[in-house]
Amino acid sequence: MRSKGTGYLSDSVSVFARPSWGQSTHVSELSFILARRDSFHGLSTGIHQIEAESANIKVEEMPHTKKPCCGVSSSGRHVCGLLLRNWTAIGLYISVFCVILPICCHKWYFSVYYNQKLHLGGASPSVYARKVNDECIVRAVSFFSQKRDAQLPRTTNDVKMVIGFVTIKRKGEIKDGGDYKPRYLLQTVAGLLQERLPDTIHVLICNVATNPSSHTDAAFLSKYVTVVSRYGKYGAAKPPGHLQDKEREDYIFCLNQSLSYNPRYVLLLEDDALVVPGAVDVLVYVVDKIEDRRYRFEASKTLAKLYSPLSLQRDFYTDKPSRIVRNLLELLSIGLFGGSLLRILYTLLCERNRENHRLLDGYFVASLICCVLAALAISRPHLLELRRISKQLYMVLEANDCCTQAILYHREVAKSIVSQFEKGFVPDWYPIDAGLDYLAEKLGLAPVCVEPNLFTHIGMYSALHEGENVYLKDFA
């Protein structure tokens, strides 16, 4: 029999209830059921709390997790980064070797991109060289026409350096049958006098023409500098012997005349050696460093070549191992410097949002190789021009065995060389440049050179070979 008022509760209880044995039994069963209900309620509450805490933990952890960019995993981002760097390196090589260098280097003689047709505008090398030389003559004539006060010859007091020019009248034959007067001496002396020469420098011209009066430029310049003639006023009594012997004798004559002023240094120039603007200031700086023994050799054993042919400055074509090693180190330094700059630029442009940056990676190696190849394509003689930015960047290093266009002698070295030549200790078949290299080795001298060159060679017509001797690189 069911009790009234129990309703749904009674139906529920009946499921869990034991067989009814009276009123007390019903009470105890009801208590048991209520207790079970409370326990189930507490259990469900605990489960809900655990779920809520778990949800809170997940919500708190989510901000610290990194979301893949555009749904790409970390491995995918790594692959994308490699592809981007590869395409960037390819674009770098194409822009450098197919666009930038061809535009900049097509007029640079020793560059692999040199184009003679574009450089000369269709003219022949001889015609172009004469055109450049004529423009230089016009500038030299204009300089002397504006120079009203003639520079009187300096006295012999306190002369630290004598700059001597060995000169002879030159003429060239052109294809139309006429004669061409290059007038090198007028150009080179004008270039030198435009420099700020210290009062301790004396300029001397050695006219070694067999007929001195025929060298009209030397006669004209006697108003501005000291001019001495080897063959006196009336010229040579008899024709000279072999031209190579005459060249050596003329050179030693001018060197001996320069020593008569008792200078500390003698700079002997051929008349086609044109000074580079600002070279005198650099020369004074280099001499001071030589005297301070900054270059680890004695000044009293110095023979410094201030001009070296540009073709020899490439240094992979020389027999001097020290120069080859030095050139390799220059290439490596260019690669490291340029590669570092390109890598930093790539980081700033393409990796600004990344937290970890690496300098040494594949892109850096590609940039380094690119800079080395670009330096080889441009060629070292043209890269040396960057050192003219400051006189502190000029280099003094071992000289190649060549050329006498511009050589700086210490007084003791000059005296030894004159003595050796006059005593006949140099083989007769040696030209003057080979004889100087022979004596340098015999006397234990230090033949060095200054790079980049302080003088340029503008000679197109050789008095020794009696003809046109065009080197277009000197007019580039």
pLDDT tens-digit map of 320-342: 888 888 889 999 999 999 999 99
pTM over 0.95: no
Model pLDDT, residue 473: 59
Q: How confident is the model at residue 102 (pLDDT cuts 50, 70, 90)?
A: very high
pLDDT at site 53: 53
> Residue 69: pLDDT band by 50, 70, 90 thresholds?
very low
Centroid of chain to Cα 368: 15
Question: What pLDDT is attached to residue 25?
Answer: 47
For residue 175, what is the DSSP state? T
pLDDT greater than 50 at residue 68: no
Which of 27-36, 92-101, 139-148, 387-396 is predicted with the least confidence, judged by mean pLDDT?
Answer: 27-36
Residue of higher predicted confidence among 173 and 428: 428
Q: Where are any strands of DSSP class E within 315-442?
A: 395-398, 406-410
- Computed over every residue of the chain, the mean pLDDT equals 79
pLDDT score for 11? 43
Is pLDDT above 80 for 38? no
CB 472 within 8 A of CB 128: yes
Q: Kindly give the pairing relationship between strand 161-167 and strand 395-398.
A: unpaired
Residue 154 — pLDDT band, cuts 50, 70, 90? Answer: low
Does residue 469 contact residue 462 with C-beta atoms inside 8 Å?
yes
**What average pLDDT does this structure show over 229-254?**
80
Report the alpha-carbon distance of residue 66 to residue 174 in Å, rounded. Answer: 80
Q: What residue ranges define each of the domains in the chain, with the CATH number in brackets?
A: 123-308+399-475 (3.90.550.10)
- Whether pLDDT at 20 is above 80: no
Distance set, CA 27 to CA 1, 32, 40, 41, 362 (Å): 15, 9, 20, 21, 86
Mean pLDDT computed over 436-458: 92
pLDDT of residue 44: 52
Provide the CB-side half-sphere exposure for 394 (13 A, CA): 26
What does the pLDDT average to over 430-459?
A: 91
pLDDT given for residue 9 in this prediction: 38
* Predicted local confidence at residue 152, as pLDDT: 55
Tell me the percentage of the chain whose pLDDT exceeds 70: 71
- Rounded CA-CA distance 407/78 in Å is 60
Q: How confident is the model at residue 377 (pLDDT cuts 50, 70, 90)?
A: very high
Which of residues 421 and 291 earns the better pLDDT score?
A: 421
Question: How far apart are alpha carbons 415 and 358 in whole angstroms?
Answer: 60
pLDDT higher than threshold 90 for residue 183:
yes
pLDDT over 80 (residue 155): no
**Sorting pLDDT into bands at 50, 70 and 90, what band is 65?**
very low
DSSP SS3 for 305: strand
Q: Counting Cβ atoms within 10 Å, is residue 395 exposed (0-12), middle (13-18) or buried (19+)?
A: middle
Name the pLDDT band for 446 (thresholds 50, 70, 90).
Answer: confident
Assess whether pLDDT exceeds 90 at residue 84: no
Q: Answer whether residue 412 shows pLDDT above 50.
A: yes
**CB neighbours of 125 closer than 8 A, spacing ≥ 6?**
116, 470, 472
Q: Which residues contact 2 (CB under 8 A, 6 or more apart)?
A: 10
CA angle, 389 as apex, 134 and 458 as ends, to 5°? 25
Q: Report d(CA 340, CA 354) in Å as an integer.
A: 18
Residue 241 CA to residue 179 CA, distance in Å, equals 25
Mean pLDDT of 361-377: 91
The C-alpha angle with vertex 190 and arms to 178 and 234, in degrees rounded to 5, equals 65
Region 384-406: mean pLDDT is 91
Q: Is the dihedral of CA 154, 155, 158, 163 positive or negative?
A: positive
d(C-alpha 230, C-alpha 169), whole Å: 13
Binned at pLDDT 50, 70 and 90, residue 16 comes out as very low
Q: Which of 212-221, 230-239, 380-389 has the lowest mean pLDDT?
A: 230-239
Q: Taking residues 424-436, report their average pLDDT.
A: 88
pLDDT, residue 22, reads 44
